[in-house]
Structure 1
Amino acid sequence: MGSGKSERVSAEVKGHATHVGESRVVEWGARAGYVASGIVHLLIAWIAFSLALGKRSGEADQSGAFRALASHPAGKVLMVAMVVGLVLLAVWQITEAVRAPEWKQKAKPLGKFVAYLILAAPALSLLTSHQTNSGSQTQQTTRTVLSMPGGKLLVVAAGLLVLGVGVYHVYKGWKRKFLQDLVENPGRPAETLGMVGYIAKGVALVVAGGLLGWAGLTGDTGQARGLDGAFKAVLAVSFGRVLVVAMAVGFVCFAAYCGVRARFGRV
């Protein structure tokens, strides 16, 4: 009896998730969310280029991107539209998680749900007049976690998680697994954009995850600075400027691929 009622509730929840996920508002909002993600990555690339040229143009991460956008007259209007798109894209991901038949199939959309909300968070902070600095926030969060019992293990685990996501991005780009997210093959140029973009973003995440894990091992919270810290760490090595320029080009490719996914993505 209890099992039957549970199955009916589960079916009803999945039915509601299907209705929401297939609605025009969520579909077009999700596509707008991919465009918004592309704009953020394009701005990160521009800031990274500036860093490579020795100019200080802000943080090479999502908060720096939104801050650069907010400095323009129409920037905040565009930010509102981007936040709406990213939130609806997150909503679509959660409906995908609910509809997935097995728990292991729910993990990917749940992870993306969190990722798109994190991407939108700096814009929400700026729009509500709260200044945001991803690097400082990451450092503060890391410092707080390190002060907790078992904090070092938690920070190291978080670093390994980010590093793992980065490795997966590289794999997804190299093996062209991103094509599975599309309803049809958009052609060789778009494939190349996706491949280069995913690999470049993956490398940046691997560096960021490594720095976060190292911060956990050593207690040096100055190492935990997210994407901005990753770009600056690469900049500090031999031929760092060339490497950062290459990574920035990769982020431009990823931004362009986001536009392709907005058109051809499975939504």
Structure 2
Amino acid sequence: MIKAIAKKHWEKLAKLGYGSRGLMYLMIGGLALMAALGLGGKTTNSKGAIEILLSQPFGQIYLAVLIIGLMGYVGWRAFQAIADTDNHGMNVKALAIRAGLLASAISHTLLTIWAIKLILGASSNDNNNLGEWLSSEESLVFLAGVGVILLAVGTAHIFKGWKARFDKYMDVPTAQRIWVIPLCRIGLLARGAAWIILGVLFLQSALATQKNNMKGIDDVFTLLSQNYAGAWLLSAMAVGLCAFGCYSVLEGFYRRIHA
């Protein structure tokens, strides 16, 4: 009885986590699309989206719910990696996938900690120690390593979206498959493209030894907007990331949670 209740609550928390991730990407993509169309808005990243959320009426309440959701997502990602809930196995490919899940848990843990500090009144620009470290010679290897990892993650997202590999982990009703599957594919392809561009930016930073400026999705938007077809490319990427946000929300509804 207790085990069944715990499982039910764990599933709800994991699904809320997917929804929280989806909300961030919907905000990031929506703001970028508004900027591309000249309707206000701005290009931003996950932290920027959280700051915008906090600035809204009842922002602290919304942010508290988001933090709870992110904690659920972190727990679920770590559980996926360690317990192998999706039965990937122990071969090289499986271990790489599980390492990616664990890396996702770590990155979202850092984002959650930052959001908690923000809601408690800490400054969003309190990153002096990180800036000093990024000015050191050791960060050259770090930036190059992150760039390679992002290139691999982006390629994996594109492959997952193109092959619709996500479908085997979701229970999508037959009536909704006609629009859910294409939407999820577009979202994964767009996020994969963003990660690849981001990986290139990290590698460029390592080669140029510009180690004082961490890269983010907002830098991807800036790079796209500087192209001669910038508005179109920025709009396409923004729509794609909105689609990825929808994909994350849909995961909250249809993802099989093996708790």
TM-score, length of structure 1 as denominator length: 0.81
Matching residue of 1:42: 26
Amino acid at match of 2:14: A
Distance 1:34-1:118 versus aligned 2 partners, 3 A rule: same
Correspondence 1:1-267 to 2 at 5 A:
23-53=7-37, 57-100=41-84, 102=90, 104=95, 106-132=98-124, 141=130, 144-145=133-134, 147-149=136-138, 151-184=139-172, 187-221=177-211, 224-267=214-257
Residue identity (%): 24
Deviation at 1:165, TM superposition (A): 1.0
Distance 1:57-1:20 versus aligned 2 partners, 3 A rule: farther
2:108 & 2:213 partners in 1: Cα distance? 24
Amino acid at match of 1:147: S
Kept after mapping to 1: 8 A contact 2:35/2:43: no
Distance 1:131-1:56 versus aligned 2 partners, 3 A rule: farther
Deviates more, 1:64-73 or 1:86-95: 86-95
Deviations 1:20-51 (A, max 9, x none): 99622221011011111111011101221233
1:108 & 1:212 partners in 2: Cα distance? 18
1:262 & 1:256 partners in 2: Cα distance? 10
2:206 & 2:110 partners in 1: Cα distance? 22
| Higher Rg | 1
Q: CA RMSD in A?
A: 2.7
Count of residues in Structure 1 that have an aligned counterpart in Structure 2? 245
TM-score, length of structure 2 as denominator length: 0.83
2:14 & 2:81 partners in 1: Cα distance? 15
1:21 & 1:209 partners in 2: Cα distance? 42
1:96 & 1:21 partners in 2: Cα distance? 20
Deviation at 1:73, TM superposition (A): 1.1
Kindly indicate whether structure 1 or structure 2 has the higher relative contact order, using CA contacts under 8 Å at least 6 residues apart: 2
Distance 1:125-1:49 versus aligned 2 partners, 3 A rule: farther
Q: Which runs of 5+ in 2 are unaligned?
A: none
Kept after mapping to 2: 8 A contact 1:38/1:257: yes
